[in-house]
Amino acid sequence: MMKKTVFFLLTLCCLSCHTDKNKGDNQILLHSILYLNDEYIGRGGAIIAYKGGIVGIEEAGSLAPFFNIDIQGENHILTHFGNRGQGPEDFIRPYPIQYINEDVFGAYDITSKTYKEITIPKGSVGESAHITSHVTFESRPFQVIKTAYGQYAGLSANEGLIILIDSVGEKHAAFFEYPYRDKDEQDIENNLRAMAYQGIFAANPSKTKCVYASLNGEIIHFYDMQKDNISLIRKIENIYPSYKKENDIIVTNVKNRVGYISLSATDQFIYALYCGKTLEELKGENGFSLESTQVRVFDWTGEMVETYALDVPCRYISVSNDGKKLWAIALNPDIVPVCFDLSNQVKNNNQMPVSGTFNHTNLIEDEESEKNEKPTNKINIGKIKIGEIKEYNLSLQSLPLSLTTTSQDVFVKSSTLLDGQRAIYVRITKQHPGVFNDTVMITTESNKGAVIFSGEAIEKTMVP
């Protein structure tokens, strides 16, 4: 049974996926490439961020099982470390990996049923890592994460959805069920339903909460982890996979939608890389790994507070604990580590970013016009408190050649959306009170014009 489940996971990893085209309100994130030394990532796997860089799983079997990218200095040093094998300090197939602290990460190996904590090698190339903790489990969960109470939570293959394991590897309790759409599906044996709803698992850095998301459909659950107990915060089940039971295997429908393919969590938010294409749509595409450009951001109550559109397809993501950087393994088309800046993004229910649009034709300058005036678009943003951030994504028809502003309170950058559509991102943060008219001058390959943002900046203590 375990072999059949693993085979299904590996089959998914041979496909290529992109995000839905429903991207109207996505905040665009632009990547920067993390240039490395002469080393290379063979086939990058799941990653986690720590203060000094990122640690990841190396899926290429010919290389060491882990890699570390140290970003402390001017040079980004990539090193591979660890051993593949069946010894007490070796790894066969680690997944997932988990942030423990700034010096240590955890890795579960499903083949050996072990969870090990490993020091992160830092500094010079070739510095070795050490196993600081080693626990072998009596059962074989799909994935395991450590809790703040010295226990372990695992996605179950046989009993319930999540099993809680004590510090010596023995099962303590089982919680909840795998999703089901109706009573008939609920009656399917857990080990078979687990194959249809196998998913990914992640914990916050404090290890007090966890999130499960299905690789099929559109399903995500949020849980609170206490000592000896796991309680549900919220579950969102919008799309269920279609499949049928044939003897002891599960056969999935090609019209199933591939769901969440990578998770990363801070103590404030969950970042979920969502695919959204069906297996049928993926069938004819070339590609060797799942990928997507849509990142959904949830808070720990289960509310979705933001959706980002990455400008390059990615397979794995990880967000720094302070929420300022999103690291990813991108397929560009080569495997390359990239970084997205989140430091200026707003993510809370009271202050959501704003999307704006304007008339494309208003940017077209009439070459025959005697006045040769530059047409404009006007957007009134109303009252804005000093220090408040307002953000706009404005679509363009062609590539912007230059972007200039009349105010230091306005920041602009260009980006690429899906299907070749261009856009400019505008962020306005007023520093001084008063009525304003801030202009963004745009020159494209074929057009030129301006967008005027007008409004009134007020002191923080005033109520607009």
**What SS3 class is residue 84?**
strand
Which pLDDT score, from 0 to 100, does residue 5 have?
Answer: 34
Burial 92-107 (b: 16+ CB within 10 A, else e): eebbbbbbbeeebbbb
The dihedral built from the CA positions of residue 96, 98, 104 and 108, taken in this order, carries a sign that is negative
Residue predicted with more confidence, 413 or 206:
206
pLDDT in tens, 103-122: 999 999 999 999 999 999 87
Q: Per-residue pLDDT for 415 more than 70? A: no
Question: pTM for the full model?
Answer: 0.72
Instruction: Report residue 20 as tokens.
Output: 């839905």
Residue predicted with more confidence, 409 or 435:
435
Share of residues in the chain with pLDDT > 70 (%): 79
Which pLDDT score, from 0 to 100, does residue 410 have?
Answer: 86
DSSP 8-class letter at 418:
G
Domains 2-341 and 360-458 alike in fold = no
Least confident of 92-101, 262-271, 360-369: 360-369
Q: Per-residue pLDDT for 66 more than 50? A: yes
pLDDT in tens, 223-238: 999 999 999 999 999 9
Residues 6+ apart with CB under 8 A from 7: none
CATH number of this structure's domain 2-341? 2.120.10.30
Q: Are 41 and 322 in contact (CB under 8 A)?
A: no
Instruction: Report residue 356 as tokens.
Output: 């704006």
Q: Are 154 and 137 in contact (CB under 8 A)?
A: yes
Residues 6+ apart with CB under 8 A from 381: 354, 390, 428, 453, 454, 455
Which pLDDT score, from 0 to 100, does residue 131 have?
Answer: 92
Which pLDDT score, from 0 to 100, does residue 291 have?
Answer: 85
Residue predicted with more confidence, 1 or 212:
212
List the domain boundaries for the chain: 2-341, 360-458
User: Among 2.70.98.10, 3.40.50.150, 2.60.40.10, 2.60.40.420, what is the CATH number of 360-458?
Assistant: 2.60.40.10
Nearest one of 306, 453, 300, 463 to 381, comparing CA atoms: 453
By CB atoms closer than 10 A (0-12, 13-18, 19+), residue 163 is buried
Q: How many residues does the chain have?
A: 464
The top-scoring range by mean pLDDT among 31-45, 179-193, 335-349 is 179-193
Q: Are 75 and 37 in contact (CB under 8 A)?
A: yes
Distance from C-alpha of 240 to C-alpha of 228, rounded to nearest angstrom = 30
Per-residue confidence at 89, pLDDT binned at 50, 70, 90? confident
Which pLDDT score, from 0 to 100, does residue 406 have?
Answer: 85
Longest dimension (CA), the chain: 84
Instruction: Report residue 452 as tokens.
Output: 């005027």
pLDDT in tens, 264-321: 999 999 999 999 888 777 665 554 467 899 999 999 999 998 899 898 889 999 999 9
Q: Per-residue pLDDT for 18 more than 50? A: no
Peptide bond into 333 cis (omega under 30): yes
Q: Per-residue pLDDT for 357 more than 50? A: no
Q: Per-residue pLDDT for 96 more than 90? A: yes
Per-residue confidence at 375, pLDDT binned at 50, 70, 90? low
Distance from C-alpha of 94 to C-alpha of 88, rounded to nearest angstrom = 14
Which pLDDT score, from 0 to 100, does residue 370 have?
Answer: 37
Least confident of 128-137, 209-218, 436-445: 436-445
